[in-house]
């Protein structure tokens, strides 16, 4: 079993590495093509290219997930920590979703000047994962709430949706690699079951905690707790 798992991880690592160059090249040429079509006022071409760009972005995200999994499995998920304003990161992420998502409104409530010492890129990817899941798994509702609170020892970020919710049995396995809930509701929603696994690893590496509270049929709240060091408290 362990041997097979290792083979699977190595395969993921090799594939993501080998696909990186062609993907970068496709991206670069599509940007050149975009300029070219723009100059020639080719509206139909620009429209088709915009469709391609969405899929290229999706492929890029998939490759990034594979690379993360490979790094985690090989104990190489290095963090690049620095001080940054978490309130600004959350606000910017919410604005990005606002432009990209028509189905939901995302409300956020975060104290100002909330400085944390963490890997900004990685915390950003955790936020994006939790908000996109909140949207993906609540097609029947319109609202997602993002908030952050702070006390002496920690910062807590929550992402709440009013969607499918997650049963008790599934909640135990939700952060496992490749785990996906397989009921009728989720069947047509795309995903690999890697996002929460990667998020869990990132938060654990920060010596933080991630967990979910949920009532089936009513929604889920994902919580992320990051410890505050002495350094941040004086900032």
Q: How far is Cα 157 from Cα 124, in angstroms, rounded to an integer? A: 12
Please pick, from the candidates 73, 163, 206, 226, the single residue that binds ligand ADP as defined by CB under 6 A.
163
- Tell me if 162 contacts ligand ADP by CB under 6 A: no
- Tell me if 139 contacts ligand ADP by CB under 6 A: no
Q: What's 228's DSSP letter?
A: P
- Find out whether 190 and 201 touch, Cβ atoms under 8 Å: no
233 burial (CB, 10 Å; 0-12 / 13-18 / 19+) is exposed
Q: How far is Cα 229 from Cα 115, in angstroms, rounded to an integer? A: 11
Give the orientation angle of helix 120-136 with respect to helix 86-100, to 10 degrees. 40
Q: For residues 220 and 225, which CB has a smaller minimum distance to ligand ADP in the complex?
A: 220
- Tell me if 13 contacts ligand ADP by CB under 6 A: no
- Find out whether 212 and 171 touch, Cβ atoms under 8 Å: yes
DSSP string, 28-73: HHHHHHHHHHHHTT-HHHHHHHHHHHHHHHHHHHHHHHHHHHHHHH
Across 89-153, where does the E strand assignment appear? 105-109, 115-118, 143-150
Q: How far is Cα 45 from Cα 9, in angstroms, rounded to an integer? A: 39
- Tell me if 181 contacts ligand ADP by CB under 6 A: yes
Range in contact with ligand ADP (rule: CB under 6 A) among 46-54, 79-87, 102-110, 187-195: 187-195
Q: For residues 93 and 115, which CB has a smaller minimum distance to ligand ADP in the complex?
A: 93
Q: For residues 49 and 162, which CB has a smaller minimum distance to ligand ADP in the complex?
A: 162
Q: For residues 139 and 227, which CB has a smaller minimum distance to ligand ADP in the complex?
A: 139
Please pick, from the candidates 114, 118, 123, 196, the single residue that binds ligand ADP as defined by CB under 6 A.
196
| String marking each residue 216-235 x if it binds ligand ADP according to CB under 6 A | ----x---------------
CB of residue 131 to ligand ADP, shortest distance in Å:
9
Range in contact with ligand ADP (rule: CB under 6 A) among 4-12, 28-36, 130-138, 146-154: 130-138
Residues that bind ligand ADP (CB under 6 A): 129, 133-134, 137, 161, 163-164, 166, 174, 179-181, 186, 191-197, 220
């Amino acid at each position: 079993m362990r041997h097979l798992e290792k083979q699977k991880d190595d395969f993921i690592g090799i594939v993501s590495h080998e696909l990186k160059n062609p993907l970068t090249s496709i991206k670069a040429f599509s940007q050149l093509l975009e300029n070219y079509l723009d100059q020639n006022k080719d509206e139909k071409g620009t429209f088709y290219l915009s469709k391609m760009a969405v899929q290229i972005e999706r492929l890029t995200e998939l490759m990034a997930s594979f690379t993360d999994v490979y790094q985690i499995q090989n104990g190489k998920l290095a963090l690049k920590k620095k001080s940054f304003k978490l309130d600004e990161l959350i606000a910017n992420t919410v604005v990005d979703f606002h432009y990209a998502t028509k189905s939901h409104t995302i409300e956020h409530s975060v104290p100002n000047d909330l400085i944390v010492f963490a890997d900004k890129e990685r915390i950003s990817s955790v936020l994006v994962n939790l908000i996109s899941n909140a949207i993906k798994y609540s097609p029947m509702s319109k609202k997602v709430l993002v908030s952050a609170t702070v006390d002496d020892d920690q910062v807590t970020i929550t992402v709440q949706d009013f969607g499918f919710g997650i049963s008790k049995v599934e909640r135990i396995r939700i952060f496992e690699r490749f785990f996906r809930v397989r009921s009728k509701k989720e069947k047509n929603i795309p995903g690999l079951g890697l996002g929460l696994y990667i998020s869990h690893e990132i938060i654990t590496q920060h010596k933080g905690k991630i967990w979910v509270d949920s009532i089936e049929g009513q929604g889920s709240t994902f919580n992320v707790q990051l410890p505050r060091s002495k350094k941040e408290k004086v900032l």
